[in-house]
Structure 1
Amino acid sequence: MSSLQQTLLEPARRPAVVKTLVAVVDAEVASKSGISGRIIKTGYAAVTKVSDGFVAKAVNKLLPGFSAALDPFWQERGDRAFADTLVARQDEAAEALLAVTDSNVAGSSNGVVKKVYGSLRGKAKDNVIAALPRVGAAIESHAA
């Protein structure tokens, strides 16, 4: 069985994977409501104004780390949907993804990104857990 990295990072496939994952991010942000939803939407708007295509560039940059972090879950999924595997191990899957993001943000020289991420990091795990069904389905659509 191929690793997620081998599959998702194939040069012919990678642009479509990035596009699908950007759509997941957009849908997750749009689905947020209440005070915390407004904070997330405001932060997302600020980050997307940093540069044209910022989210796609960020997803593309993070994709190797994300695919490596999620590969153990991919390998253990068996016959079930990848989203179900991620949800069943949601704490571990969320922490694996956040470790990649934390590392990349820590190494960023972009002050706006660091500030926005820092303000949202406290609730990030809950938001990542909520996104796991969409993330799993998106990845499976390209890797299965």
Structure 2
Amino acid sequence: MSTTVSEALLEPSRRPVAVTALTDVVDAEVADKSGIGGVAVKAGYATVKKLGGGFVQRATDRLLPQFATALDPFWATKGDRPFGDHLASQPETVADALLAVTDARAASTSHASAAKVYGSLRGKAKDHVVAALPRLGAAVERLVR
């Protein structure tokens, strides 16, 4: 069994499964959004998905090494707790670690449309990441085991 999120998720035979699982987490989180803020998130996500060619999956795959590295220290300290609970117990720190990855990528992307959508949603991104931590943690735990 792998000892880190990076080892598990980046292992060549497991990586495609990890990308699909994490894309499914994003899809589910977006689908669960409601209200005016949810409409904005759903519209932004639909715009990004229209970029075609599996943009969301490709972006997830490109960012997976950085996301996995960002999650490694949290995995190392989870103890016997479910990973989703462990992440949710320190929401600010985890959200900041994950958003540092997407902020860096958005700042250097060649996809102006994606960067624009990200910029328009970034103000509330931390709230969305925090809300996703239990689902993200559960998905990662299934992938690492």
TM-score band, normalised by shorter chain: over 0.9
Q: Deviations over 1:79-133 (max 9, x none)?
A: 1100011001111000000000000111101110110000000000000000000
CA distance in 1, matches of 2:112, 2:28: 25
Aligned residue in 1 for 2:82: 81
CA RMSD of aligned residues (A): 0.8
- Report the equivalent of 1:42: 43
The TM-score, its normalising length taken from structure 2, stands at 0.97
Aligned to 2:141: 140
- State the TM-score, normalized to the length of structure 1: 0.98
In the TM superposition, residue 6 of structure 1 has moved relative to its aligned partner by 1.2
> How far has the Cα of 1:51 moved from its partner?
1.6
Is 1:120 equivalent to 2:121 in the alignment?
Answer: yes
Q: Deviations over 1:30-81 (max 9, x none)?
A: 0001111010000000000012211100110111000000100000001110
Question: 1:57 maps to what in 2?
Answer: 58
What residue number does 1:92 align with? 93
Structure 2 equivalent of residue 29 of structure 1: 30
Report the AA paired with residue 77 of structure 2.
E
How many residue pairs end up in the alignment? 144
